[in-house]
Amino acid sequence: MSKAEQLLQALGYDNGQKLLMIHADDAGLSHSENQATIDALKRGLVNSYSIMVPCPWFYEIAEFALKYPNFDCGVHLTLTCEWNSYKFGPVLGQKEVPSLVDAQGYFFKSRNEVLNKAKPDELKKELCAQIDRAISFGLKPSHLDSHMYTLGASHEFLALYREVGKLYQLPVMLNSKLITEVSGNKTAETALENEVMIDHLYLGNFKDFENGRLSDYYANSLKKLQPGLNMILIHTAYDNHEMRAITKNHPNFGAAWRQIDFDFFTSDQCENLIKEQKIQMVSWTAIKNLIYP
């Protein structure tokens, strides 16, 4: 029996059931991201989110997480800063993890730079420091995932990501197709002990965004959802002064995109589709309870 099947059984569902998590990444990035994520969670369709510990607005979202422990809240392990004028770096600082930073002490912009330069021991140290800082705030993370899925970029990174998950007894977000996309490695990954693979991952692409079809993509994803464990990965923020400045010259996952994510995943259309399609929402907490009972 696959882990997804076990999960279905453990949750009391048939094998044909469509399980779904709607997950908002990048909380803590900005005030705009925080407020939209909080709003979306409270409205009830987005049911999971993860926090970027090294970002300046971490504190604000951590306060929310402490006050509302009912929502799944993961640590969005962060090793890159993709923005042009808004910068952050490792929790441990430039001196402690020099292989993780550029000449100015900030995270690299791309996965590839991290892949080429990061030393595994410094990488592990920084990942643990991010989780430790979340825990020291009193947060009880439900899961780990990886910003820009940098930790899927190589066998070595992936092994480290899984190792850190085991160390903290937290499920890590894994999807075979995403790993292939990010690493170029075509061998399908499967779940090991204490792991669950996301069977089907839905993430908007730039072409759909450019053509004004991002909402259609989301609606179609819900309509065509497969049995098994599904995840829609989104980024909720308001398209305002702050967010436009952060995502300047970076329309891919930019401010306008994030506003669309917010609008769709707080809409009646989305709510109705979930009902019509008899989709069963599932949380990281349920998965965590299954694999780390």
- Positions 160 through 179 that interact with its own copies (CB under 8 A): none
Q: Is the distance from CB of 173 to CB of 143 less than 8 angstroms?
A: yes
**Minimum distance between the CB of residue 246 and its own copies, rounded to whole angstroms?**
8
29-37, 186-194, 266-274, 276-284 -> range binding its own copies (CB under 8 A): 29-37
**Minimum distance between the CB of residue 284 and its own copies, rounded to whole angstroms?**
24
Q: Is the distance from CB of 36 to CB of 25 less than 8 angstroms?
A: no
- The pairs formed by 87-96 with CB atoms below 8 angstroms and a separation of 24 or more are 88/54, 88/55, 88/56, 89/54, 90/54, 90/126, 90/129, 91/53, 91/54, 91/126, 91/129, 91/130, 91/133, 92/125, 92/126, 92/129, 96/122, 96/125
Pull the structure tokens for residue 187. Answer: 């061998």
Packing angle, helices 58-67 and 31-43, rounded to 10 = 20
24-32, 199-207, 222-230, 254-262 -> range binding its own copies (CB under 8 A): 24-32
**Minimum distance between the CB of residue 250 and its own copies, rounded to whole angstroms?**
14
**59 contributes a contact to its own copies by CB under 8 A:** yes
**107 contributes a contact to its own copies by CB under 8 A:** no
From the CB of residue 43, how many other CB atoms can be counted at a distance below 10 Å? 14
**36 contributes a contact to its own copies by CB under 8 A:** no
Give the one residue of 42, 224, 241, 278 binding its own copies; rule: CB under 8 A: 241
Nearer to its own copies, 93 or 227 (CB): 93
Distance CA 36, CA 30 (A): 10
Nearer to its own copies, 1 or 103 (CB): 103
CA 43 to chain centre: 19
**136 contributes a contact to its own copies by CB under 8 A:** yes
Residue 154 is given by DSSP the state: S
Nearer to its own copies, 105 or 227 (CB): 105
110-118, 129-137, 158-166, 209-217 -> range binding its own copies (CB under 8 A): 129-137
For residue 9, give Cα distances in angstroms to 1, 19, 65, 227: 10, 12, 29, 13
**60 contributes a contact to its own copies by CB under 8 A:** yes
Distance CA 25, CA 23 (A): 6
Give the one residue of 49, 71, 106, 209 binding its own copies; rule: CB under 8 A: 106
Bridge partner residues of 231 (DSSP): 21, 201
**Minimum distance between the CB of residue 93 and its own copies, rounded to whole angstroms?**
2
- Positions 66 through 105 that interact with its own copies (CB under 8 A): 85-88, 90-96, 103-105
Q: Which residues bind its own copies (CB under 8 A)?
A: 30-32, 35, 55-60, 63, 85-88, 90-96, 103-106, 133, 136-137, 238, 240-242, 245-246
